[in-house]
Amino acid sequence: MPPPLAALAAIADAGTTSSRRDALYGLLRREQSIATGGASPPRREVSRILDFAQAAYGDLVGVLVGRDDDLLDGGRDGEWTLRDVVRHAIAVELRYAAQASYSAARAETDPVEIPANLLPCDRLSPPEPKFARARSAGIDELLELLGAARSASDGQLAEVSDSTLLRPSRWGNQLIDVGMRLHQIAVHLTETAIQVEKIVGPSGELRAIVRRCCITRGLHERWSLAEDRAILDDSYRNIAT
C-alpha cells in the first residue's frame, strides 16, 4: 500500500502553507532516494514492469484519497459513475493478471486466447464475495480493495518468467506479447486516474505533491525495506497532524 491513507487524506485537502509544502517536498526527496538507492535487490524484468503498475496505482490513490464519498455515486463521466470506474479498475486488474499468467504458462497446444472459465470476473464487476464491498464502500475502502487486487496480481504473476515475455497473448482483437500485456496493467490504471480526475476535478497544490509522493512510493514499495517505508509513513502522519 502507499503511505497511510488517513494521513494522505488529511494532507491533500489541508490549507497550503509553506511549512506543509516544504515538508512534503522533503518526503518526495526521501521517496526518490529509496527508489534510486542501492538497496534494490537484482530483479527480473517482470518485477520491474510491475513497479510501474504499483506507481500508477499510487497516482490513482493521490487523485482520490480523502475525497467526498458522495462523489462515488453522484460524480459521472458520461454513463459511468465514479464507483463504476473504480469497480471496473478492480475487475480489470484481476482479469489482466489472469490473462498474462495464462499466456505465459499455456501449452503450445492450448489456444492463445484465455478460456472464459479461467477469467475471475467480467470486466465491470469484481468477483464476489471477496470484493462485494466495492458496491457500497467509501472512497478510501475502495482504494484499499484496489490495492488488494494489485497485491493479488503481483502474487499471481510472481512466477512469470522473463523468458516468456515474447510469447503471444490476446488483448481484445489484438495479438501482442506477454511483456506488453503486463505493461497494460499500469497503462489501464493510468487511464483510470485520468478518467477519475475528469470526474473529481483538478488537484490543488498539496494534493499534486501527494500524487508525486504516491507515484514514487509505488516505484519502490514492492521491494524496499518495510522499516524504511515505516519511517516515511510516520513522517506523513506528522505532517497530517
- The grid cell for 155 is 502474487
pLDDT value of position 34: 94
Mean pLDDT by runs of 10 across the 241 residues of the chain is 91 91 97 83 89 98 96 94 98 98 96 96 95 97 97 95 96 93 98 96 92 97 94 96 90
pLDDT value of position 16: 87
Burial of 209 (0-12, 13-18, 19+ CB in 10 A): buried
pLDDT value of position 38: 64
- The grid cell for 196 is 477519475
Cα–Cα distance for residue pair 200/204, rounded to 1 Å: 12
Cα–Cα distance for residue pair 219/16, rounded to 1 Å: 26
Closest C-alpha among 222, 216, 213, 218 to residue 7: 213
Which residues are paired to 176 by β-bridges? 169
Identify the structural domains of the chain with CATH numbers, from first to last: 5-240 (1.20.120.450)
Instruction: Tell me how far the alpha carbon of residue 220 is from its chain's centroid.
Output: 13
Burial of 240 (0-12, 13-18, 19+ CB in 10 A): middle
pLDDT value of position 202: 83
DSSP string, the chain: --S-HHHHHHHHTSPP-HHHHHHHHHHHHHHHHHHHSTTPPP--HHHHHHHHHHHHHHHHHHHHTT--TTHHHH-EETTEEHHHHHHHHHHHHHHHHHHHHHHHH--TTS-SSPPGGGSSS-SSS--TTTTGGGGT--HHHHHHHHHHHHHHHHHHHTT--GGGTTSEEEETTEEEEHHHHHHHHHHHHHHHHHHHHHHH----HHHHHHHHHHHHHHHHTTTS-HHHHHHHHHHHHHHH-
Closest C-alpha among 43, 165, 41 to residue 103: 165
Closest C-alpha among 206, 216, 204 to residue 239: 206
pLDDT value of position 41: 65
Other CB atoms within a 10 A radius of the CB of residue 2 amount to 27
pTM score above 0.85:
yes
pLDDT value of position 39: 56
Cα–Cα distance for residue pair 48/237, rounded to 1 Å: 29
